[in-house]
Amino acid sequence: MAGQRRQPRSRPETLARRRDILDAAVEIFGSKGFTGGTLQEIADQVGMTHAGILHHFGSKHELLLEVLQHRDETDVADLDEQHIPDGMDLFRHLVRTAFVNAHRAGIVQAYVVLSAESVTDDHPGRDFFEKRYRTLRGEVAHAFSVVCAERGVTAPETVDLAAASILAVMDGLQVQWLLDPDAVDLARASEFAIEAIVSAVLSPAPSPLTDGAPAGQPSRSTV
């Protein structure tokens, strides 16, 4: 009827619209990066205007942070209290995440591209990734400490190295997998690496790369 005010969208409709925008942003940022991908391309993807995207997210920077937050929330959506577990369950969770990631290339690509871009000057995602890696390293290191305590093992000095290495291996394998998915088994390679690093912390043995020095200790062949 002419002159009748349009009813505002219901909250479920608004949430669904925001989800559509986030999904489109994942695809655009994943394929073109934050700098290369535009709000207009995202708007075209969901049949909206540039102004419509800004109505929901305020700015391109805000949309980026929402994309990153959405990705992290997806990883823990099925967990108790929506938080990663502790102790050995944390390492099992990381392995399960790798298996899940092998079936969601779009989200993985967006994360890989944006995390790599974040090291550049003035990137709006830099603070997010710095905090994320710092938090994850701390959580993995704490999980090692819990497991060591449960097994009566004195937590070795390699715990911090192991925590950083697990994250590096998982992210590095994602890059290799995205470049050549037929050549790299993302899930099983991640599982192998995580198991190897956990074993190296809990049951250190002489390194085959050295002249018999314990793992993590320099030897004549590495100096």
Give the pLDDT confidence of 197-214 residue by residue, as tens digits.
999 999 988 888 876 555
pLDDT at residue 192, as a whole number: 98
Q: Residues for the chain: how many in total?
A: 223
pTM, two decimal places: 0.78
Report yes or no: 135 and 86 within 8 Å, Cβ to Cβ: no
Predicted local distance difference test score (pLDDT) of residue 213 = 57
pLDDT of residue 85: 85
Residue-wise pLDDT for 29-77, tens only, equals 888 888 888 999 999 999 999 998 999 998 888 888 888 887 777 665 5
Could you read off the pLDDT of 127-179 as tens digits, one per residue?
Answer: 999 999 999 999 999 999 999 999 988 878 899 999 999 999 999 999 999 99
pLDDT value for 10: 54
Residue-wise DSSP of 172-187: HHHHHHHH-TTT--HH
Asked if pLDDT for residue 220 goes beyond 50, the answer is no
The residue-averaged pLDDT of 25-31 equals: 86
Q: How many CA atoms lie within 13 A of 151 on its CB side?
A: 16
Q: Give the position of tokens 């995205």.
A: 178
Residue 223 and residue 218: Cα distance in Å, rounded?
7
Look at residue 110 and tell me whether its pLDDT is greater than 50.
Answer: yes
Residue spans of alpha helices (H) in the chain:
11-36, 39-46, 50-57, 60-76, 88-101, 105-117, 126-150, 159-179, 186-202
